[in-house]
Structure 1
Amino acid sequence: MVTAYVDGRYLPLAEARVSPMDRGFLFGDGAYEVIPVYSRRAFRLDEHVARLANTLGAMRLPNPHAAEEWKALILELVARNPWDDQSVYLQVTRGADTRRNHAFPGPEVKPTVFLMSEPLVTPSAGQRASGIAAVSAADIRWLRCDLKTVSMLANCLLRQHAIDQGCMETVLFRDSFLTEGAASSIFVCKDGVLLVPPKSHLMLPGITYDVVLELARSHGMKHAVREVLEAEVRSADELWMTSSTKEVLAITTLDGRPVGDGKPGPMGRQMHAWYQDFKNTVMRNG
Protein backbone atom coordinates (compact mmCIF):
# COMPACT_ATOMS: atom_id res chain seq x y z
CA MET A 1 0.00 0.00 0.00
CA VAL A 2 1.27 3.46 -0.92
CA THR A 3 0.93 5.95 1.92
CA ALA A 4 0.33 9.68 1.48
CA TYR A 5 -0.05 12.59 3.90
CA VAL A 6 -2.81 15.20 3.83
CA ASP A 7 -3.24 17.89 6.50
CA GLY A 8 -2.10 15.94 9.53
CA ARG A 9 -3.13 12.43 8.42
CA TYR A 10 -1.16 9.56 6.91
CA LEU A 11 -3.53 7.52 4.76
CA PRO A 12 -3.60 5.35 1.62
CA LEU A 13 -2.89 7.47 -1.45
CA ALA A 14 -6.13 6.24 -3.07
CA GLU A 15 -8.06 7.78 -0.18
CA ALA A 16 -6.33 11.19 -0.21
CA ARG A 17 -8.74 14.06 -0.86
CA VAL A 18 -8.66 17.85 -1.07
CA SER A 19 -11.49 20.34 -1.59
CA PRO A 20 -12.42 21.43 -5.13
CA MET A 21 -12.35 24.95 -3.66
CA ASP A 22 -8.66 24.60 -2.87
CA ARG A 23 -6.70 27.45 -4.45
CA GLY A 24 -4.13 25.00 -5.74
CA PHE A 25 -6.90 23.46 -7.87
CA LEU A 26 -8.57 26.75 -8.83
CA PHE A 27 -5.54 28.99 -9.39
CA GLY A 28 -2.38 26.88 -9.25
CA ASP A 29 -1.69 28.85 -6.07
CA GLY A 30 0.87 26.66 -4.37
CA ALA A 31 4.47 25.50 -4.06
CA TYR A 32 6.08 22.10 -4.37
CA GLU A 33 9.31 20.18 -3.89
CA VAL A 34 10.61 16.85 -5.20
CA ILE A 35 13.10 15.17 -2.88
CA PRO A 36 15.20 12.16 -3.92
CA VAL A 37 15.65 9.45 -1.31
CA TYR A 38 18.48 6.90 -1.50
CA SER A 39 18.52 3.87 0.82
CA ARG A 40 15.76 5.67 2.80
CA ARG A 41 17.95 8.74 3.32
CA ALA A 42 16.54 12.00 1.93
CA PHE A 43 19.25 13.78 -0.04
CA ARG A 44 20.04 17.36 0.99
CA LEU A 45 16.83 17.64 2.93
CA ASP A 46 17.87 20.94 4.52
CA GLU A 47 18.36 22.50 1.07
CA HIS A 48 15.00 21.25 -0.21
CA VAL A 49 13.17 22.55 2.86
CA ALA A 50 14.97 25.89 2.54
CA ARG A 51 14.04 26.16 -1.15
CA LEU A 52 10.41 25.46 -0.23
CA ALA A 53 10.53 28.19 2.42
CA ASN A 54 11.98 30.62 -0.13
CA THR A 55 9.19 29.88 -2.61
CA LEU A 56 6.48 30.20 0.04
CA GLY A 57 7.96 33.49 1.27
CA ALA A 58 8.04 34.95 -2.25
CA MET A 59 4.42 33.84 -2.75
CA ARG A 60 3.37 35.40 0.58
CA LEU A 61 2.02 31.99 1.55
CA PRO A 62 2.45 31.30 5.29
CA ASN A 63 4.75 28.35 5.86
CA PRO A 64 2.68 25.82 7.82
CA HIS A 65 5.69 24.07 9.38
CA ALA A 66 9.09 24.85 10.80
CA ALA A 67 12.07 23.21 9.10
CA GLU A 68 12.39 20.45 11.67
CA GLU A 69 8.68 19.66 11.40
CA TRP A 70 8.97 19.36 7.62
CA LYS A 71 11.91 17.01 7.94
CA ALA A 72 10.04 14.82 10.42
CA LEU A 73 6.98 14.60 8.13
CA ILE A 74 9.09 13.69 5.10
CA LEU A 75 11.13 11.04 6.91
CA GLU A 76 7.98 9.50 8.40
CA LEU A 77 6.44 9.28 4.93
CA VAL A 78 9.60 7.60 3.62
CA ALA A 79 9.48 5.08 6.48
CA ARG A 80 5.82 4.24 5.74
CA ASN A 81 6.41 3.46 2.04
CA PRO A 82 7.91 0.26 0.65
CA TRP A 83 10.84 1.44 -1.50
CA ASP A 84 14.43 2.01 -0.44
CA ASP A 85 14.91 4.62 -3.21
CA GLN A 86 12.02 7.06 -3.43
CA SER A 87 10.95 10.34 -4.98
CA VAL A 88 8.97 12.35 -2.42
CA TYR A 89 6.56 14.96 -3.77
CA LEU A 90 5.52 17.73 -1.36
CA GLN A 91 2.90 20.38 -2.11
CA VAL A 92 1.58 23.35 -0.14
CA THR A 93 -1.35 25.44 -1.38
CA ARG A 94 -2.97 28.53 0.07
CA GLY A 95 -5.92 26.39 1.12
CA ALA A 96 -9.65 26.10 0.44
CA ASP A 97 -11.75 29.26 0.64
CA THR A 98 -15.56 29.38 0.56
CA ARG A 99 -15.63 31.26 -2.75
CA ARG A 100 -13.49 31.70 -5.83
CA ASN A 101 -11.68 35.02 -5.49
CA HIS A 102 -8.34 36.03 -6.99
CA ALA A 103 -7.39 38.00 -3.87
CA PHE A 104 -5.77 36.06 -1.05
CA PRO A 105 -8.22 34.67 1.53
CA GLY A 106 -8.22 35.75 5.14
CA PRO A 107 -6.03 34.25 7.86
CA GLU A 108 -8.78 31.81 8.85
CA VAL A 109 -7.99 29.75 5.72
CA LYS A 110 -5.25 27.24 6.48
CA PRO A 111 -2.75 26.06 3.86
CA THR A 112 -3.27 22.57 2.44
CA VAL A 113 -0.30 20.22 2.85
CA PHE A 114 0.04 17.09 0.70
CA LEU A 115 2.90 14.61 0.45
CA MET A 116 3.24 11.42 -1.56
CA SER A 117 6.06 9.09 -2.58
CA GLU A 118 6.91 7.07 -5.67
CA PRO A 119 9.76 4.72 -6.56
CA LEU A 120 12.82 6.66 -7.71
CA VAL A 121 13.42 5.55 -11.30
CA THR A 122 16.66 6.61 -13.00
CA PRO A 123 17.65 6.31 -16.70
CA SER A 124 18.07 2.84 -18.14
CA ALA A 125 21.40 1.44 -19.27
CA GLY A 126 20.22 1.84 -22.86
CA GLN A 127 19.45 5.54 -22.40
CA ARG A 128 22.81 6.13 -20.77
CA ALA A 129 24.61 4.31 -23.58
CA SER A 130 22.88 6.09 -26.46
CA GLY A 131 21.81 9.38 -24.92
CA ILE A 132 18.44 10.97 -25.57
CA ALA A 133 16.88 13.22 -28.19
CA ALA A 134 15.76 16.77 -27.41
CA VAL A 135 14.10 19.62 -29.24
CA SER A 136 14.35 23.35 -28.63
CA ALA A 137 11.76 26.06 -28.10
CA ALA A 138 11.40 29.65 -26.98
CA ASP A 139 11.08 29.94 -23.21
CA ILE A 140 7.46 31.09 -22.88
CA ARG A 141 7.28 30.84 -19.08
CA TRP A 142 6.77 33.68 -16.62
CA LEU A 143 9.63 35.71 -15.11
CA ARG A 144 9.84 33.97 -11.72
CA CYS A 145 11.10 30.56 -12.79
CA ASP A 146 13.26 30.51 -9.65
CA LEU A 147 10.10 29.76 -7.66
CA LYS A 148 9.00 26.13 -7.55
CA THR A 149 5.27 26.70 -7.92
CA VAL A 150 2.52 24.32 -9.01
CA SER A 151 1.56 26.67 -11.88
CA MET A 152 3.25 24.34 -14.39
CA LEU A 153 1.14 24.66 -17.55
CA ALA A 154 3.92 26.27 -19.61
CA ASN A 155 6.39 23.57 -18.54
CA CYS A 156 3.86 20.87 -19.40
CA LEU A 157 3.26 22.34 -22.86
CA LEU A 158 7.00 22.58 -23.48
CA ARG A 159 7.63 19.03 -22.30
CA GLN A 160 4.76 17.74 -24.45
CA HIS A 161 6.33 19.57 -27.39
CA ALA A 162 9.25 17.17 -26.98
CA ILE A 163 7.09 14.08 -26.47
CA ASP A 164 5.07 14.85 -29.60
CA GLN A 165 8.30 14.63 -31.61
CA GLY A 166 9.52 11.42 -29.98
CA CYS A 167 12.00 13.27 -27.74
CA MET A 168 12.56 13.37 -23.99
CA GLU A 169 13.25 17.04 -23.25
CA THR A 170 12.85 20.57 -24.58
CA VAL A 171 15.86 22.89 -24.34
CA LEU A 172 14.71 26.46 -23.72
CA PHE A 173 16.09 29.73 -25.06
CA ARG A 174 15.11 33.25 -24.08
CA ASP A 175 16.37 36.11 -26.26
CA SER A 176 19.03 33.81 -27.81
CA PHE A 177 20.39 32.67 -24.43
CA LEU A 178 20.04 29.24 -22.81
CA THR A 179 17.87 29.06 -19.70
CA GLU A 180 17.16 25.39 -18.86
CA GLY A 181 15.05 22.42 -19.90
CA ALA A 182 11.30 22.06 -19.44
CA ALA A 183 12.01 19.76 -16.47
CA SER A 184 15.79 19.79 -16.06
CA SER A 185 18.96 21.85 -15.95
CA ILE A 186 21.03 21.92 -19.15
CA PHE A 187 24.84 21.78 -19.21
CA VAL A 188 27.00 22.49 -22.27
CA CYS A 189 30.49 21.16 -23.04
CA LYS A 190 32.53 23.18 -25.52
CA ASP A 191 36.27 22.84 -26.19
CA GLY A 192 36.86 20.95 -22.95
CA VAL A 193 34.98 23.44 -20.73
CA LEU A 194 31.70 22.76 -18.93
CA LEU A 195 29.31 25.71 -19.29
CA VAL A 196 26.06 26.44 -17.46
CA PRO A 197 23.92 29.59 -17.02
CA PRO A 198 24.05 31.29 -13.61
CA LYS A 199 21.11 31.05 -11.25
CA SER A 200 18.61 33.82 -11.81
CA HIS A 201 14.89 34.52 -11.79
CA LEU A 202 14.74 32.81 -15.21
CA MET A 203 15.64 29.31 -14.01
CA LEU A 204 15.05 26.98 -11.09
CA PRO A 205 17.92 26.75 -8.58
CA GLY A 206 18.40 23.00 -9.00
CA ILE A 207 19.89 20.82 -6.27
CA THR A 208 21.39 18.45 -8.89
CA TYR A 209 22.77 21.53 -10.69
CA ASP A 210 24.66 22.31 -7.47
CA VAL A 211 25.98 18.75 -7.16
CA VAL A 212 27.31 18.71 -10.73
CA LEU A 213 29.17 21.99 -10.20
CA GLU A 214 30.57 20.76 -6.88
CA LEU A 215 31.84 17.59 -8.56
CA ALA A 216 33.39 19.63 -11.39
CA ARG A 217 35.21 21.82 -8.86
CA SER A 218 36.38 18.97 -6.63
CA HIS A 219 37.70 16.89 -9.55
CA GLY A 220 39.27 19.74 -11.49
CA MET A 221 36.98 19.74 -14.52
CA LYS A 222 37.22 23.08 -16.30
CA HIS A 223 33.93 24.90 -16.01
CA ALA A 224 32.36 28.34 -16.18
CA VAL A 225 29.08 29.65 -14.82
CA ARG A 226 28.03 32.36 -17.26
CA GLU A 227 25.41 33.29 -19.81
CA VAL A 228 25.41 30.70 -22.61
CA LEU A 229 24.47 31.74 -26.13
CA GLU A 230 22.05 29.66 -28.18
CA ALA A 231 24.78 29.41 -30.84
CA GLU A 232 27.10 27.80 -28.28
CA VAL A 233 24.45 25.22 -27.46
CA ARG A 234 23.89 24.37 -31.10
CA SER A 235 27.63 23.95 -31.73
CA ALA A 236 28.33 22.11 -28.46
CA ASP A 237 30.57 19.07 -28.22
CA GLU A 238 28.26 17.64 -25.54
CA LEU A 239 24.91 18.52 -23.95
CA TRP A 240 23.57 17.08 -20.69
CA MET A 241 20.25 17.25 -18.93
CA THR A 242 20.39 16.91 -15.14
CA SER A 243 17.74 16.42 -12.46
CA SER A 244 17.17 14.30 -9.38
CA THR A 245 15.59 11.54 -11.49
CA LYS A 246 17.63 11.89 -14.71
CA GLU A 247 20.92 12.39 -12.82
CA VAL A 248 23.43 13.21 -15.61
CA LEU A 249 22.04 12.17 -19.00
CA ALA A 250 23.56 12.99 -22.38
CA ILE A 251 21.51 14.74 -25.06
CA THR A 252 22.86 13.33 -28.31
CA THR A 253 20.50 14.95 -30.81
CA LEU A 254 18.93 18.41 -30.73
CA ASP A 255 16.22 19.29 -33.24
CA GLY A 256 17.13 16.19 -35.24
CA ARG A 257 20.81 17.09 -35.56
CA PRO A 258 23.62 15.24 -33.75
CA VAL A 259 25.31 16.88 -30.78
CA GLY A 260 29.04 16.42 -31.32
CA ASP A 261 29.48 12.98 -32.86
CA GLY A 262 25.97 11.97 -31.81
CA LYS A 263 27.14 9.81 -28.90
CA PRO A 264 27.58 10.47 -25.16
CA GLY A 265 30.91 12.25 -24.81
CA PRO A 266 33.87 11.73 -22.49
CA MET A 267 33.09 14.64 -20.15
CA GLY A 268 29.55 13.40 -19.63
CA ARG A 269 30.70 9.82 -19.04
CA GLN A 270 33.21 11.07 -16.48
CA MET A 271 30.64 13.26 -14.71
CA HIS A 272 28.17 10.37 -14.62
CA ALA A 273 30.82 8.15 -13.00
CA TRP A 274 31.63 10.82 -10.42
CA TYR A 275 27.91 11.27 -9.74
CA GLN A 276 27.38 7.55 -9.19
CA ASP A 277 30.33 7.39 -6.83
CA PHE A 278 28.98 10.41 -4.94
CA LYS A 279 25.54 8.81 -4.78
CA ASN A 280 26.86 5.55 -3.39
CA THR A 281 29.32 7.05 -0.90
CA VAL A 282 27.47 10.21 0.20
CA MET A 283 23.80 10.23 -0.81
CA ARG A 284 23.15 6.72 0.51
CA ASN A 285 24.87 7.51 3.79
CA GLY A 286 22.93 10.59 4.79
Structure 2
Amino acid sequence: MSRTVYVNGEFVPEADAKVSVFDRGFLFADGVYEVTSVLGGKILDFAGHAARLERSLAELDMPMPMGADELLDIHRKLVADNGLDDGLIYLQITRGAADRDFAYPDAQTPQTVVLFTQEKPGLADAPMAKQGMKIISIPDERWGRRDIKTVQLLYPSMGKMMAKAAGAHDAWMVEDGHVTEGTSNNAYIVKDGTIITRHLGNEILHGITRAAVLRFAREAQMRVEERSFTLEEAAAADEAFITSASTFVMPVVELDGAPIGDGTPGPVAARLREIYLDESRKAAV
Protein backbone atom coordinates (compact mmCIF):
# COMPACT_ATOMS: atom_id res chain seq x y z
CA MET A 1 0.00 0.00 0.00
CA SER A 2 1.32 3.45 -0.93
CA ARG A 3 2.65 5.63 1.85
CA THR A 4 1.66 9.21 2.43
CA VAL A 5 4.70 11.50 2.43
CA TYR A 6 5.17 15.19 3.15
CA VAL A 7 6.70 17.41 0.47
CA ASN A 8 6.89 21.19 0.81
CA GLY A 9 3.66 21.71 2.71
CA GLU A 10 1.60 18.93 1.14
CA PHE A 11 0.76 15.38 2.17
CA VAL A 12 0.81 13.31 -1.02
CA PRO A 13 0.98 9.64 -2.12
CA GLU A 14 4.61 8.60 -2.45
CA ALA A 15 4.18 8.08 -6.21
CA ASP A 16 3.28 11.76 -6.54
CA ALA A 17 6.15 13.08 -4.42
CA LYS A 18 8.50 15.15 -6.57
CA VAL A 19 11.62 17.23 -5.93
CA SER A 20 13.32 19.43 -8.54
CA VAL A 21 16.36 18.11 -10.42
CA PHE A 22 17.94 21.45 -9.50
CA ASP A 23 17.53 20.85 -5.77
CA ARG A 24 20.84 21.49 -4.01
CA GLY A 25 20.38 18.37 -1.92
CA PHE A 26 20.63 16.38 -5.16
CA LEU A 27 23.38 18.50 -6.75
CA PHE A 28 25.59 19.27 -3.73
CA ALA A 29 24.33 17.22 -0.76
CA ASP A 30 23.46 20.67 0.57
CA GLY A 31 21.00 19.59 3.21
CA VAL A 32 20.51 17.98 6.59
CA TYR A 33 18.33 15.20 7.96
CA GLU A 34 16.98 13.62 11.12
CA VAL A 35 15.55 10.20 11.96
CA THR A 36 13.06 9.68 14.77
CA SER A 37 11.87 6.32 16.02
CA VAL A 38 8.22 5.41 16.54
CA LEU A 39 7.18 2.75 19.05
CA GLY A 40 3.54 1.92 19.62
CA GLY A 41 2.54 4.88 17.47
CA LYS A 42 4.46 7.34 19.70
CA ILE A 43 7.51 9.39 18.69
CA LEU A 44 10.71 9.01 20.73
CA ASP A 45 13.08 11.85 21.68
CA PHE A 46 11.38 14.39 19.42
CA ALA A 47 12.63 17.47 21.30
CA GLY A 48 16.24 16.33 21.04
CA HIS A 49 15.98 15.67 17.33
CA ALA A 50 14.31 19.04 16.71
CA ALA A 51 17.05 20.85 18.63
CA ARG A 52 19.82 19.06 16.72
CA LEU A 53 18.05 19.79 13.43
CA GLU A 54 18.04 23.49 14.24
CA ARG A 55 21.74 23.35 15.12
CA SER A 56 22.67 21.50 11.91
CA LEU A 57 20.76 24.02 9.81
CA ALA A 58 22.40 26.94 11.60
CA GLU A 59 25.86 25.47 10.97
CA LEU A 60 25.03 25.56 7.24
CA ASP A 61 23.53 29.07 7.40
CA MET A 62 20.00 27.77 6.87
CA PRO A 63 16.95 28.75 8.92
CA MET A 64 14.43 26.37 10.44
CA PRO A 65 11.57 26.32 7.89
CA MET A 66 8.97 25.97 10.64
CA GLY A 67 8.61 25.83 14.40
CA ALA A 68 9.02 22.66 16.45
CA ASP A 69 5.28 22.45 17.18
CA GLU A 70 4.38 22.48 13.47
CA LEU A 71 7.11 19.94 12.79
CA LEU A 72 5.71 17.66 15.50
CA ASP A 73 2.22 17.99 14.00
CA ILE A 74 3.59 16.82 10.64
CA HIS A 75 5.29 13.84 12.28
CA ARG A 76 2.08 12.89 14.07
CA LYS A 77 -0.02 13.19 10.92
CA LEU A 78 2.37 10.92 9.03
CA VAL A 79 2.15 8.38 11.85
CA ALA A 80 -1.66 8.51 11.73
CA ASP A 81 -2.07 8.59 7.94
CA ASN A 82 0.31 5.65 7.47
CA GLY A 83 -0.96 3.65 10.45
CA LEU A 84 2.63 3.50 11.70
CA ASP A 85 2.99 1.46 14.88
CA ASP A 86 6.73 0.68 14.97
CA GLY A 87 9.13 2.35 12.57
CA LEU A 88 11.03 5.46 11.59
CA ILE A 89 10.31 8.95 10.31
CA TYR A 90 12.95 10.50 8.06
CA LEU A 91 13.12 14.28 7.65
CA GLN A 92 15.31 16.02 5.07
CA ILE A 93 15.70 19.76 4.56
CA THR A 94 17.78 21.20 1.74
CA ARG A 95 18.68 24.73 0.70
CA GLY A 96 16.15 24.39 -2.11
CA ALA A 97 16.19 24.46 -5.91
CA ALA A 98 18.28 26.95 -7.89
CA ASP A 99 20.35 26.95 -11.06
CA ARG A 100 23.57 25.02 -10.46
CA ASP A 101 26.23 27.16 -8.81
CA PHE A 102 28.64 26.43 -5.98
CA ALA A 103 27.70 29.72 -4.37
CA TYR A 104 24.53 29.60 -2.29
CA PRO A 105 21.37 30.94 -3.93
CA ASP A 106 19.53 33.98 -2.62
CA ALA A 107 18.38 33.57 0.97
CA GLN A 108 14.77 33.92 -0.20
CA THR A 109 14.96 30.65 -2.19
CA PRO A 110 12.35 28.30 -0.67
CA GLN A 111 13.85 25.34 1.16
CA THR A 112 12.87 21.80 0.28
CA VAL A 113 11.28 19.90 3.18
CA VAL A 114 10.53 16.18 2.85
CA LEU A 115 9.35 13.65 5.44
CA PHE A 116 8.52 9.98 4.97
CA THR A 117 7.98 6.92 7.11
CA GLN A 118 9.47 3.42 7.15
CA GLU A 119 7.61 0.59 8.82
CA LYS A 120 9.80 -1.58 11.09
CA PRO A 121 7.61 -4.13 12.90
CA GLY A 122 9.11 -5.29 16.18
CA LEU A 123 11.71 -2.52 16.17
CA ALA A 124 12.32 -2.83 19.90
CA ASP A 125 12.59 -6.64 19.76
CA ALA A 126 15.32 -6.95 17.12
CA PRO A 127 16.98 -10.40 17.27
CA MET A 128 20.36 -8.69 16.90
CA ALA A 129 20.01 -7.40 20.46
CA LYS A 130 20.30 -11.00 21.69
CA GLN A 131 22.93 -12.10 19.13
CA GLY A 132 25.20 -9.05 18.96
CA MET A 133 26.80 -7.36 15.97
CA LYS A 134 30.00 -8.14 14.13
CA ILE A 135 32.05 -5.04 13.31
CA ILE A 136 35.06 -4.34 11.11
CA SER A 137 37.32 -1.29 11.29
CA ILE A 138 37.87 1.02 8.33
CA PRO A 139 39.69 4.34 7.86
CA ASP A 140 37.57 7.42 8.53
CA GLU A 141 37.67 9.28 5.22
CA ARG A 142 34.74 11.66 5.72
CA TRP A 143 34.82 15.45 5.78
CA GLY A 144 35.76 17.22 8.99
CA ARG A 145 32.32 18.44 10.16
CA ARG A 146 30.74 15.17 11.18
CA ASP A 147 28.85 16.94 13.96
CA ILE A 148 26.49 18.34 11.29
CA LYS A 149 23.94 15.70 10.29
CA THR A 150 24.16 16.27 6.54
CA VAL A 151 22.75 14.12 3.74
CA GLN A 152 26.24 13.41 2.36
CA LEU A 153 26.28 9.75 3.35
CA LEU A 154 28.28 8.18 0.54
CA TYR A 155 31.26 7.09 2.62
CA PRO A 156 29.13 5.62 5.40
CA SER A 157 27.26 3.71 2.67
CA MET A 158 30.57 2.46 1.33
CA GLY A 159 31.55 1.46 4.86
CA LYS A 160 28.40 -0.62 5.28
CA MET A 161 29.15 -2.34 1.97
CA MET A 162 32.73 -3.06 3.13
CA ALA A 163 31.29 -4.65 6.25
CA LYS A 164 28.81 -6.68 4.23
CA ALA A 165 31.58 -7.95 1.94
CA ALA A 166 33.54 -9.02 5.04
CA GLY A 167 30.59 -10.93 6.47
CA ALA A 168 30.03 -8.34 9.21
CA HIS A 169 27.08 -6.14 10.13
CA ASP A 170 28.71 -2.71 10.28
CA ALA A 171 31.98 -0.80 10.47
CA TRP A 172 33.68 1.44 13.02
CA MET A 173 35.69 4.26 11.49
CA VAL A 174 39.20 4.95 12.72
CA GLU A 175 41.25 8.17 12.60
CA ASP A 176 44.79 8.50 13.99
CA GLY A 177 44.42 5.07 15.58
CA HIS A 178 41.28 6.02 17.50
CA VAL A 179 37.69 4.99 16.85
CA THR A 180 35.48 7.91 15.86
CA GLU A 181 32.07 6.28 15.40
CA GLY A 182 30.13 3.71 13.40
CA THR A 183 28.78 4.34 9.92
CA SER A 184 25.43 5.45 11.35
CA ASN A 185 25.86 5.16 15.11
CA ASN A 186 27.98 6.11 18.10
CA ALA A 187 30.51 3.57 19.41
CA TYR A 188 31.19 2.42 22.99
CA ILE A 189 33.36 -0.03 24.87
CA VAL A 190 33.08 -1.25 28.47
CA LYS A 191 36.17 -2.01 30.54
CA ASP A 192 36.13 -2.95 34.23
CA GLY A 193 32.57 -1.64 34.49
CA THR A 194 33.33 1.75 32.93
CA ILE A 195 31.51 2.87 29.78
CA ILE A 196 33.90 4.63 27.39
CA THR A 197 32.76 6.62 24.36
CA ARG A 198 34.38 9.36 22.32
CA HIS A 199 33.96 12.92 23.58
CA LEU A 200 31.84 15.36 21.58
CA GLY A 201 33.52 17.44 18.90
CA ASN A 202 33.52 17.97 15.15
CA GLU A 203 34.75 14.38 14.67
CA ILE A 204 31.48 12.65 15.55
CA LEU A 205 27.74 13.16 15.39
CA HIS A 206 26.23 14.42 18.61
CA GLY A 207 23.85 11.48 18.89
CA ILE A 208 20.44 12.09 20.48
CA THR A 209 20.28 8.47 21.61
CA ARG A 210 23.87 8.83 22.85
CA ALA A 211 22.91 11.77 25.06
CA ALA A 212 19.92 9.92 26.51
CA VAL A 213 21.84 6.68 27.12
CA LEU A 214 24.71 8.46 28.89
CA ARG A 215 22.23 10.35 31.06
CA PHE A 216 20.45 7.13 31.99
CA ALA A 217 23.77 5.40 32.66
CA ARG A 218 24.85 8.12 35.08
CA GLU A 219 21.44 8.08 36.78
CA ALA A 220 21.91 4.32 37.25
CA GLN A 221 25.29 5.02 38.94
CA MET A 222 27.29 3.55 36.07
CA ARG A 223 30.77 5.00 35.46
CA VAL A 224 31.14 6.91 32.19
CA GLU A 225 34.27 8.28 30.50
CA GLU A 226 33.88 10.51 27.44
CA ARG A 227 37.24 10.17 25.67
CA SER A 228 38.69 8.69 22.54
CA PHE A 229 39.69 5.02 22.58
CA THR A 230 41.97 2.98 20.34
CA LEU A 231 41.27 -0.16 18.35
CA GLU A 232 43.57 -1.99 20.76
CA GLU A 233 41.43 -0.87 23.69
CA ALA A 234 38.31 -2.00 21.86
CA ALA A 235 39.84 -5.42 21.18
CA ALA A 236 40.66 -5.81 24.88
CA ALA A 237 37.29 -4.53 26.14
CA ASP A 238 34.93 -6.60 28.25
CA GLU A 239 32.02 -5.66 25.99
CA ALA A 240 31.01 -3.10 23.37
CA PHE A 241 27.89 -1.60 21.89
CA ILE A 242 26.49 1.10 19.61
CA THR A 243 23.62 3.54 19.92
CA SER A 244 21.40 5.17 17.31
CA ALA A 245 17.78 6.20 16.82
CA SER A 246 17.08 3.09 14.76
CA THR A 247 18.96 0.50 16.86
CA PHE A 248 18.64 2.04 20.36
CA VAL A 249 21.39 0.19 22.28
CA MET A 250 22.88 -2.71 20.30
CA PRO A 251 25.67 -4.99 21.58
CA VAL A 252 28.84 -5.59 19.56
CA VAL A 253 30.41 -9.03 20.00
CA GLU A 254 33.15 -9.15 17.37
CA LEU A 255 35.72 -6.69 15.99
CA ASP A 256 37.80 -7.48 12.91
CA GLY A 257 37.10 -11.19 13.25
CA ALA A 258 38.05 -11.49 16.94
CA PRO A 259 35.53 -11.76 19.81
CA ILE A 260 35.06 -8.88 22.23
CA GLY A 261 34.95 -10.23 25.77
CA ASP A 262 33.46 -13.70 25.64
CA GLY A 263 31.86 -13.05 22.25
CA THR A 264 28.33 -12.65 23.60
CA PRO A 265 26.24 -9.55 24.42
CA GLY A 266 27.35 -8.08 27.73
CA PRO A 267 25.29 -7.11 30.78
CA VAL A 268 25.94 -3.35 30.56
CA ALA A 269 24.57 -3.10 27.02
CA ALA A 270 21.59 -5.26 27.91
CA ARG A 271 20.77 -3.15 30.96
CA LEU A 272 21.16 0.14 29.09
CA ARG A 273 18.90 -1.08 26.29
CA GLU A 274 16.25 -2.03 28.83
CA ILE A 275 16.49 1.34 30.62
CA TYR A 276 16.51 3.33 27.38
CA LEU A 277 13.42 1.61 25.98
CA ASP A 278 11.52 1.91 29.27
CA GLU A 279 12.31 5.58 29.80
CA SER A 280 11.87 6.58 26.16
CA ARG A 281 8.46 4.95 25.96
CA LYS A 282 7.37 6.88 29.06
CA ALA A 283 8.44 10.19 27.52
CA ALA A 284 7.28 9.46 23.96
CA VAL A 285 4.91 11.88 22.27
Both proteins in one fold, TM over 0.5: yes
Matched AA of 2:138: A
Deviation at 1:129, TM superposition (A): 2.2
Matching of residues 11-22 of structure 1 within 5 Å: 11-22=12-23
SS at 1:228's partner residue? coil
Matching of residues 200-219 of structure 1 within 5 Å: 200-219=201-220
> Once the two structures are superposed, what CA deviation does each residue of 1:239-275 show, in whole Å capped at 9, x if it has no partner?
1011112111111111111111111112222222223
**Mapped partners of 2:40, 2:267: distance in 1:** 29
Residue 168 of structure 2: aligned partner? 167
SS at 2:96's partner residue? coil
Residue 148 of structure 1: aligned partner? 149
> Once the two structures are superposed, what CA deviation does each residue of 1:182-232 show, in whole Å capped at 9, x if it has no partner?
111111001111111111111011111112111211111122112223321
Matching of residues 127-276 of structure 1 within 5 Å: 127-276=128-277
The change in CA–CA distance for 1:27 and 1:212 in structure 2 (over 3 A counts) is same
Matched AA of 1:109: T
Matched AA of 2:88: S
**Mapped partners of 2:78, 2:254: distance in 1:** 39
Q: Find out whether 1:31 has 2:32 as its counterpart.
A: yes
Residue 119 of structure 2: aligned partner? 119
**Mapped partners of 2:270, 2:71: distance in 1:** 36
Q: Is the 8 A contact 1:37 1:120 kept in 2?
A: no
**Mapped partners of 1:95, 1:126: distance in 2:** 40
Residue 85 of structure 1: aligned partner? 86
**Mapped partners of 1:163, 1:124: distance in 2:** 22
Q: Is the 8 A contact 1:6 1:113 kept in 2?
A: yes
Residue 76 of structure 1: aligned partner? 77
Deviation at 1:279, TM superposition (A): 3.8
Using the TM superposition, name which of 7-16 and 60-69 deviates more. Answer: 60-69
The RMSD of aligned alpha carbons is 1.6
Q: Is the 8 A contact 1:239 1:259 kept in 2?
A: yes
Count of residues paired in the alignment? 283
SS at 2:243's partner residue? strand
Q: Is the 8 A contact 2:36 2:88 kept in 1?
A: yes
SS at 2:254's partner residue? strand
> Once the two structures are superposed, what CA deviation does each residue of 1:19-53 show, in whole Å capped at 9, x if it has no partner?
11111111111111101122222222121111111
Residue 45 of structure 2: aligned partner? 44
Deviation at 1:152, TM superposition (A): 1.0
Identity percentage over the alignment? Answer: 35
- Relative to the length of structure 1, the TM-score reads 0.93
The change in CA–CA distance for 1:42 and 1:220 in structure 2 (over 3 A counts) is same
Matched AA of 2:115: L
- Relative to the length of structure 2, the TM-score reads 0.94
Structure 1, unpaired ranges of 5+: none
Deviation at 1:125, TM superposition (A): 5.2
Q: Is the 8 A contact 2:54 2:63 kept in 1?
A: no
Structure 2, unpaired ranges of 5+: none
Deviation at 1:124, TM superposition (A): 5.4
Q: Is the 8 A contact 2:89 2:116 kept in 1?
A: yes
